[in-house]
Amino acid sequence: MIKKIASCIGEYKKYTILTPVIIIGEVLMEILIPFVMAQIINVGIKGSGGVQYIVKMGLLMILMATFSLICGTLAGKYAAVAGMGLAKNLRQKLFDKVQDFSFKNVDKFSTASLVTRLTTDVTNTQNAFMMIIRTAVRAPMMMIGATIMALVTNAQLSVIFFIAIPVLGIALWLIGSHAHPRFQKMLKKYDAMNASVQENLIAIRVVKAFVREKYENEKFEASADDVRKAQLYAEKIVVLNNPIMQLVMYACITSIVWFGGQLIIGQSMDVGQLSSFISYVTQILMSLMMISFIFIMCVISRASFARIAEVLGETPDIEDGPDKDAVLKDGSIVFENVSFSYHDTADTYILSDINLEISSGETIGIIGGTGSSKTSLVQLIPRLYDTTAGNVIAGGHNVKDYTLEHLRNEVAMVLQNNVLFSGTIKDNLRWGNKNATDEEITEACKAAQAHDFIMSFPKGYDTDLGQGGVNVSGGQKQRLCIARALLKKPKIIILDDSTSAVDTATDSKIRQAFREQLSDTTTIIIAQRVSSVCDADKIIVLDDGRINGIGTHEQLLESNEIYREVYQSQQKGSDE
């Protein structure tokens, strides 16, 4: 887990190493300064050094402090460079990784959780990392340095440290290890509370319509109280940190004064040494404190590390096929004994035993009830998902042989839940083909019956869509999505319920344009309306993941019960 994150440091390695190295300079000064202090007191004040010596040593101290300041400032800067650099690399790696994900990978994480991982979790990691490189060397160095100085000053008294350090260390370790599971529990409660707020935001109209404000308030109070309790439970351990630290430190100071006092009385130590000894105690215990702080910080951020590492460690389960040069030679599609399930572990298939042959240039309609796996079937063609069993062959090769780019460039799919991106209409259309000329764009839009409404906007093709394409209606959005797919000039085009918000007249105009301009392109249309598919070369009726019937409109009306029912349910009105 840590390794994966560490590998993202990349070009910021220099700063990551430089930071602790420079900090060594700062720490050295911090350790030496009390020593100089003792000299001032012993030699300068008590001894024979006189004012001259004091000034000399004082200036030395100022010099040391200035050096330490330079080191500290540089270290602070480099730590920021390294920390933010890591954050940048992490975000980029995560983002790139997600781009390489298959649909299945994305489904597994859910988009909301991917967004959190890219934002909050990266921030947590970045802060922990910065903290670590600033203190990971500093604290132990400080501890070692101060211990050495203490030993040099008075070895006998140093015994106190060797008792105090393990005691404090064990106490801090106990606190940290107990806090971890409690914090994790708290984070879970926290997630639950946030989820309930989010749910209420999304469904506020339902809450109000059913007058459930009070009910929701009570639910929220319960979950907010859970958070409160979990937080109390976790943090009440952490608040022990400070008092325990104080206790140990005070114990050290009194012992030093007691034993050191006797040494002074016995004239084997002087007052200056006692005072610097106390400084060393403070430094040693402070650095232990810092170590424990890093520890707690890591505990709290561990969840974030894990969530990031999980994404980085995910292997995209759909990768380029072995044949780099293969391209679809035509738009023919064959399904051979295809079965499919979204979860490898599920024992029931969503699609079972599909055998199907589609010739290049045919228009195919697919009809079936809610949950009959229409979408699942067509998603196998551009390899949005891979078959669980059986093969899909498109353009002469198994779809698994092509590189994804070659395959998907030739198989255009207009998704059911389609998305437009912020930017102008033209920007969005260019997704289909970066280098499309204005003529090509207009042509595609005309075929998708989008040209007229685009031209009715004051800015035409340069109209800004805003995030999520909010400035166009549902039907207009669908037609833009179709135009975008057409610009790819694919060999196979799949429309997954892509004209549901388009009126029947426009719908038939689109199909007419397809027939006239895309006669070589295999067209697959999933639709709810029989009118959208009735003139197809072949209509496939899906029921519960199986092919229930294949044929033309007339054939199916005659032989297929489901198709007849669907037809009748939609024809009732117009027959009268």
Partner 1 sequence: MPPKQMKGVAKPKNTMATLKRIFSYMKEFKLQLTIVIIGILISAGASVAGTYLLKPVIDGYISPLIGQKHPDLSKFAGILFVMIAIYLCGALAAWVFSRMMLNISTKTLYKIRVDMFTKMESLPIRYFDTHTHGEIMSRYTNDADTIREMLTNSVTQFISSAITVTGVFIMMIKISWQLTLICIAVLAAVLYLIKVIGGKSGMFFKEQQKEIGKVNGYIEEMIEGQKVVKVFCHEEEAKSGFEKCNEELRQAATSANTFANILMPVMNNLSYLHYAITAIAGGIIAVNGILSLGGVVTFLQYTRQFAQPITQISQQFNAVLNALAGAERIFNLIDEEPETDDGYVTLVNAEKNEKGELTETDHHTGVWAWKHPHHDGTLTYTEVRGRVTFDDVVFGYVPEKTVLNGITLYAKPGQKIAFVGSTGAGKTTITNLINRFYDVPDGKIRYDEININKIKKADLRRSQSIVLQDTHLFTGSIKDNIRYGNLLATDEEIISAAKLANADTFIKHLPNGYDTVITGDGGNLSQGQRQLLAIARAAVADPPVLILDEATSSIDTRTESLIEKGMDRLMNGRTVFVIAHRLSTVRNSHAIMVLENGKIIERGSHDDLIKEHGRYFQLYTGMFELS
Ranges within 394-413 binding partner 1 (CB under 8 A): 404-405, 408-409, 412-413
Q: In 3-state terms, what secondary structure has residue 116?
A: helix
| Residue 231 contacts partner 1 per CB under 8 A | yes
| Residue 216 contacts partner 1 per CB under 8 A | yes
| Residue 460 contacts partner 1 per CB under 8 A | no
Count Cβ atoms within 10 A of the Cβ of residue 573 and give its class: 0-12 exposed, 13-18 middle, 19 or more buried: exposed
Among residues 14 and 228, whose Cβ is nearest to partner 1? Answer: 228
| Only segment of 152-160, 172-180, 439-447, 527-535 that touches partner 1 (CB under 8 A) | 527-535
Reading the block at residue 190, the tokens are 């926290």
| Residue 189 contacts partner 1 per CB under 8 A | no
Count Cβ atoms within 10 A of the Cβ of residue 123 and give its class: 0-12 exposed, 13-18 middle, 19 or more buried: middle
From residue 309, alpha-carbon distances to 97, 103, 107, 406 in Å are 11, 19, 17, 31
CB of 211 to partner 1, least distance (A): 5
What is the distance between the alpha carbons of residues 548 and 540, in angstroms, rounded to a whole number? Answer: 8
412 contact partners, CB below 8 Å, separation of at least 6: 432, 485, 486, 488, 490, 492, 493, 494
Q: In 3-state terms, what secondary structure has residue 296?
A: helix
Of 1, 206, 306, 455, the one binding partner 1 (CB under 8 A) is 206
Annotate each residue in 413-432 with x if it binds partner 1 (CB under 8 A) or - if it does not, as one string: x-x-xxx-xx--------xx
Of 239-298, which residues contact partner 1 (CB under 8 A)? 239-240, 242-244, 246-247, 250-251, 253-254, 257-258, 261-262, 264-265, 267, 271-272, 274-275, 278-279, 282
Annotate each residue in 321-360 with x if it binds partner 1 (CB under 8 A) or - if it does not, as one string: ----------------------------------------
**Residues 383 and 333 sit within 8 Å (Cβ to Cβ):** no
CB of 268 to partner 1, least distance (A): 11
| Only segment of 82-90, 140-148, 162-170, 392-400 that touches partner 1 (CB under 8 A) | 82-90
CB of 337 to partner 1, least distance (A): 25
Of 84, 136, 165, 297, the one binding partner 1 (CB under 8 A) is 84
Reading the block at residue 239, the tokens are 């608040």
User: Helix, strand, coil shares of the chain as percentages rounded to 5?
Assistant: 65, 10, 25
| Only segment of 323-331, 357-365, 500-508, 549-557 that touches partner 1 (CB under 8 A) | 500-508
| Only segment of 92-100, 292-300, 440-448, 514-522 that touches partner 1 (CB under 8 A) | 92-100
Among residues 2 and 222, whose Cβ is nearest to partner 1? Answer: 222
Q: Dump the DSSP string for 366-418.
A: EEE-TTS-HHHHHHTTTTSS--SEEEEEETTEETTTS-HHHHHHHEEEE-SS-
Of 467-496, which residues contact partner 1 (CB under 8 A)? 467-468, 473-476, 484, 488
- CA 373: distance to chain centroid? 29
What is the distance between the alpha carbons of residues 537 and 395, in angstroms, rounded to a whole number? Answer: 19
SS (H, E, C) 55-107: HHHHHHHHHHHHHHHHHHHHHHHHHHHHHHHHHHHHHHHHHHHHHHCCHHHHH
| Residue 47 contacts partner 1 per CB under 8 A | no
| Residue 76 contacts partner 1 per CB under 8 A | yes
| Residue 224 contacts partner 1 per CB under 8 A | yes
Reading the block at residue 210, the tokens are 């059913």
| Residue 365 contacts partner 1 per CB under 8 A | no
| Residue 58 contacts partner 1 per CB under 8 A | yes
Residue that is written with structure tokens 């070895």 in the block: 155
Among residues 461 and 563, whose Cβ is nearest to partner 1? Answer: 563
Secondary structure letter of residue 464 according to DSSP: B
| Only segment of 3-11, 153-161, 236-244, 305-313 that touches partner 1 (CB under 8 A) | 236-244
| Residue 315 contacts partner 1 per CB under 8 A | no
Of 146-175, which residues contact partner 1 (CB under 8 A)? none
Among residues 143 and 193, whose Cβ is nearest to partner 1? Answer: 193
| Only segment of 59-67, 148-156, 320-328, 439-447 that touches partner 1 (CB under 8 A) | 59-67
CA dihedral (138, 139, 144, 150) positive or negative = positive
Of 28, 167, 196, 297, the one binding partner 1 (CB under 8 A) is 196
Query: How many CB atoms sit inside 10 A of residue 323's CB?
Result: 14
CB of 457 to partner 1, least distance (A): 14
Burial 512-527 (b: 16+ CB within 10 A, else e): ebbeeebeebbbbbbb
CB of 96 to partner 1, least distance (A): 5
Of 110-139, which residues contact partner 1 (CB under 8 A)? 110-112, 114-115, 118-119, 130, 134
